[in-house]
Amino acid sequence: MRQRKPLVVANWKMNGSFDLVQQMSAALSVLTQPLPDILICPPVILLPHFPKHPNYLLGAQNVSEQLAGAFTGEISADMLRAAAASYVIVGHSERRTLYGEQDAVISQKVKVAIDSGLTPILCVGESLVQREEEKTLQVLARQLDAVYAAQPHLLAHSVVSYEPIWAIGTGRTATPEQAQQVHQFIRQHLAQYDAQAANELRIIYGGSVTAANCEALFAEADIDGALIGGASLKVADFSAICTMAKDS
Instruction: Please say whether the beta carbons of 168 and 130 come within 8 A.
Output: no
Cα 50 → chain centroid? 19
Catalytic residue selected from 65, 126, 163, 183:
163
Q: In angstroms, how far is the first alpha carbon of the chain from the final one? A: 9
Q: How far is the CB of 115 from ligand PGA (least distance, A)?
A: 25
Q: Which is nearer to ligand PGA, 101 or 197 (CB)?
A: 101
Q: Which is nearer to ligand PGA, 28 or 197 (CB)?
A: 28
Is there a binding annotation on residue 230? Answer: yes
**Euclidean distance between CA atoms 101 and 165, whole angstroms:** 15
Half-sphere exposure of 206 (CA within 13 A, CB side): 32
- Indicate the residue whose CB is closest to ligand PGA: 229
Q: How far is the CB of 81 from ligand PGA (least distance, A)?
A: 23
In the complex, which residues of this chain contact ligand PGA (CB under 6 A)? Answer: 11, 163, 168-169, 206-209, 227-231
Catalytic: 189? no
Is there a binding annotation on residue 169? Answer: yes
Burial of residue 7 (CB within 10 Å: 0-12, 13-18, 19+) is buried
Is there a binding annotation on residue 73? Answer: no
Q: Which is nearer to ligand PGA, 144 or 226 (CB)?
A: 226
Is there a binding annotation on residue 17? Answer: no
